[in-house]
Amino acid sequence: MEFLWEGLLAVTWKQAVMFVVGGLLIYLAIEKKYEPALLLPMGFGAILVNLPASGVLNQITQGAGETNGIIQWLFTHGIEASEAFPLLLFIGIGAMIDFGPLLANPKLFLFGAAAQIGIFLTVIVAVLLNFDIQDAASIGIIGAADGPTSLLVSQVLKSKYVGAIAVAAYSYMALVPIIQPAAIKLVTTKKERAMRMPYASTQVSRRTRILFPILVSIVAGLVAPASVSLVGFLMFGNLIRECGVLNSLSETAQHELANLITLLLGITISFSMRAEQFVTPQTLLILCLGLVAFVFDTVGGVLFAKVLNLFCKNKVNPMIGAAGISAFPMSARVVERLGVEADNQNHLLMHAAGANVAGQVASVVAGGVILGFFL
């Protein structure tokens, strides 16, 4: 009992705050089911790394002296030294994505590109708020609505706020069903949300599906060389899915690989959630800027769709532009729900899914562009 009391006295108020943050993340994962595979290990890890003299950060072993604890070791070798965990996760993500709706309607690529505007606007805002340019760029990428990209870019750019950026990116991804409807309704009318769109009957050939990831990797590598690792691993995962001869590996990438890497990634990120780094005014500001980035992306995509409708004969529902963020498939489901809410026969899921997967590609390319500019 005496040792417990001494341990409690050793806990600082900042560490106590992090226990609350960790508990909140665990609550959101279990009770609200918001990104549980990631938020739960992040929340539990946040508690572990903030225990006084935590053994997950360093260990005193006889004959070897002080050595890295398991979480610090995972962070050093899995993220800091090689960025291996986020990149390996892209293989699993690529294997999950069906690019068929996007290939059937290539115009949807435009919405994926337009919905990244929040990234660059947020970078400007962060610079105006006196963040270093590398930190500003890392904060801006939260607007990609792509947790692995946010983590990878912030780590490569050596941002001081990796933990806060990761928490913001993954938390807002989980909160897309809450954030996006409000942002969409802000810039659309019920009549616009009720706009119906016919489904294209175009069939995408197997050859096209196989060539697509190869060509995208080549083009992305020529346009933004820094994006090769991000786009390449995403497209490699998709090629495994579409080639038709590696079905068991595709299933493994989608489930076992993605789940294992997500689990390790979540608890490893907690290394950057130590109280002295995380409990700062800048963390709150980053959380606010992350929300701004998401809203900018959503509004920017909707407004782009409206502008495009001025020049196109076949009009698109402006909400499709909002699905151009990378939060797949949550954003597409939001658009479908709002479409049915405005008109119970207005089903937009396939169109929104096409824009959503375009956003996945655009987000990793945007990450590569950010790295090319600021690395």
Reported as a single tens digit per residue, the pLDDT across 188-216 is: 988 988 888 877 656 788 899 999 999 98
**Mean per-residue pLDDT over the chain, rounded:** 83
The contacts of residue 74 (CB under 8 Å, 6+ apart) are 264, 267, 268, 271
Is 9 a residue whose pLDDT tops 60?
no
If one compares 234 and 35, the residue with the highest pLDDT of the two is 234
**Number of Cβ atoms within 10 Å of the Cβ of 187:** 18
Q: With 0-12 CB in 10 A as exposed, 13-18 as middle and 19+ as buried, what is 350?
A: middle
The confidence score (pLDDT) of residue 262 equals 86
The confidence score (pLDDT) of residue 201 equals 59
Answer whether 329's CB lies under 8 Å from 356's CB. Answer: yes
Q: What percent of the chain has pLDDT over 90?
A: 12
* Residues 101-148 pLDDT 10s: 888 888 888 888 888 888 888 888 899 998 988 898 888 888 777 777
* Residues 254-298 pLDDT 10s: 999 989 988 888 888 888 888 888 888 888 898 888 888 888 888
Cα separation, 166 vs 287, whole angstroms: 10
Rounded to an integer, what is the distance from CA 149 to the centroid of its chain? 6
Q: How far is CA 275 from CA 13, 74, 106, 142, in A?
A: 9, 19, 46, 21
Cα separation, 72 vs 22, whole angstroms: 18
Domain layout of the chain by residue ranges? 86-374
Cα separation, 266 vs 244, whole angstroms: 31
* Residues 166-188 pLDDT 10s: 888 877 777 788 888 889 999 99
- For 287-310, letters b (16+ CB in 10 Å) and e give bebbbbbbbbbbbbbbbbbeebbe
Cα separation, 291 vs 148, whole angstroms: 17
The confidence score (pLDDT) of residue 116 equals 84
Cα separation, 228 vs 349, whole angstroms: 30
Q: Give residue 23's pLDDT band: very low, low, confident or very high (50, 70, 90).
A: very high
